[in-house]
Structure 1
Amino acid sequence: MPTEYASATVWGVVVALGVATFGIRASFVYLFGRIDEVPDRVTNALEFVPPAVFAALALPAIVAPEGAIAIVGNERLTAGVLASAVAWYVEDILATIVVGMAALWLLRFGI
């Protein structure tokens, strides 16, 4: 995809973001290598990181599959809500995946 930016600018941004990402990850390795005991507040806060990352990755694809928020006629949203209900009540990953995919397949292609 062509852009308005020069090749050196694009590569500069890529390198800068790579260095920043590496620095953030290295800081955690350095920090937790120097601390003998992680405080309880940090441990409790870090428990919420995986669900937050998953929600940030999955929610836009479910709520806005075409780039704009679509609630009416959005089969991904309906299947996601059904899968979320199964995950909440059953707490089984396989059942959640099966119900979510089956609901999406039925809503998209019908019987």
Structure 2
Amino acid sequence: MEIRWHILLAIMGASIVTLLPRVLPLMVLSRMQLPEWAMRWLNYVPVAVMAALIGQELFMADGKFEISRNYIEILAALPTFATAILTRSLLGTVVVGILTVMVLRFIL
């Protein structure tokens, strides 16, 4: 089997570019003691990222703010958010979301 060096170099370069932003902050921050305010601030990052992703999916269509297209998903988001807040269970939240979308699509 012939090795194509340009493909091998592209794969190695892509893995380095993917690995560096993940490993370097971990290596640097693991040796530092962050202040309390920074730790509190970092606790909100996953929630903010998830809210941005879900908000964009629910309220945007073709790059424009539009609620009328995704009304089933918006209706399904209500019990799903309630489940997430009340149970704090990822599995329960996903199951409620999937079942709610399934029922709403069957009914509507």
- TM-score class normalised by the smaller sequence: 0.5 to 0.7
5+ residue gaps, structure 1 = 1-17
Using the TM superposition, give the Cα deviation of residue 86 of structure 1 relative to its aligned residue in structure 2, in angstroms.
1.1
Compared CA separation, residues 63 and 55, structure 1 to 2 (3 A): same
Counterpart of 2:99 in structure 1 is 102
Compared CA separation, residues 44 and 109, structure 1 to 2 (3 A): same
Using the TM superposition, give the Cα deviation of residue 81 of structure 1 relative to its aligned residue in structure 2, in angstroms.
1.6
Compared CA separation, residues 30 and 87, structure 1 to 2 (3 A): closer
Measured in 2, the distance between the counterparts of 1:39 and 1:69 equals: 38
Give the one of 60, 63, 71 matched to 2:59: 63
What is the root-mean-square deviation of aligned Cα atoms in Å? 2.9
The one-letter code matched in structure 2 to 1:70 is E
1:63·1:76 contact (CA, 8 Å) conserved in 2? no
1:6-54, Cα deviation, whole Å (9 max, x unpaired): xxxxxxxxxxxx7xxx67x84x45752663x211111111111111111
Using the TM superposition, give the Cα deviation of residue 109 of structure 1 relative to its aligned residue in structure 2, in angstroms.
2.9
5+ residue gaps, structure 2 = 1-16
Percent pairwise identity: 26
Measured in 1, the distance between the counterparts of 2:27 and 2:93 equals: 38
Using the TM superposition, give the Cα deviation of residue 75 of structure 1 relative to its aligned residue in structure 2, in angstroms.
0.7
1:62·1:77 contact (CA, 8 Å) conserved in 2? yes
Q: How many corresponding residue pairs?
A: 92
